[in-house]
């Protein structure tokens, strides 16, 4: 728990509040006839691609880079899913 403005906030463990699903990313790549190797060839690190495949945490900078590469919005490549 953290104390913020004299209020105690309970912080959930990772994954307790759901997760971000990147299934839409793979769909948009397929639609554009692109693949994971194309992401790697265009500056997305192989470790990051692996994280995306497993719906693990990535930075906002990665999301921005993907959106720039694919000319899309974040909602086109990811969505929130409840646990």
- Write phi, then psi, for 80 (nearest 5 degrees): -80, 135
pTM, entire model: 0.82
Q: CA 47 to CA 10: how far, in whole Å? A: 31
Q: What is the pLDDT of residues 38-76, one digit of tens each?
A: 999 999 999 999 999 999 999 999 999 999 999 999 999
Q: CA 15 to CA 31: how far, in whole Å? A: 30
Q: CA 45 to CA 62: how far, in whole Å? A: 10
Q: State the pLDDT confidence band at 2, using cuts at 50, 70 and 90.
A: low
Give 53's contacts (C-beta < 8 A, 6+ positions apart). Answer: 22, 36
């Amino acid at each position: 728990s953290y104390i913020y403005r004299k209020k105690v906030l309970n912080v959930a463990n990772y994954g307790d509040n759901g997760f971000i699903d990147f299934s839409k990313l793979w769909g948009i790549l397929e639609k554009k006839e692109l693949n994971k190797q194309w992401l790697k060839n265009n500056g997305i690190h192989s470790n990051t691609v692996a994280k995306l495949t497993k719906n693990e945490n990535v930075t906002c900078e990665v999301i921005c880079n993907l959106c720039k590469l694919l000319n899309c919005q974040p909602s086109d490549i990811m969505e929130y899913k409840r646990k």
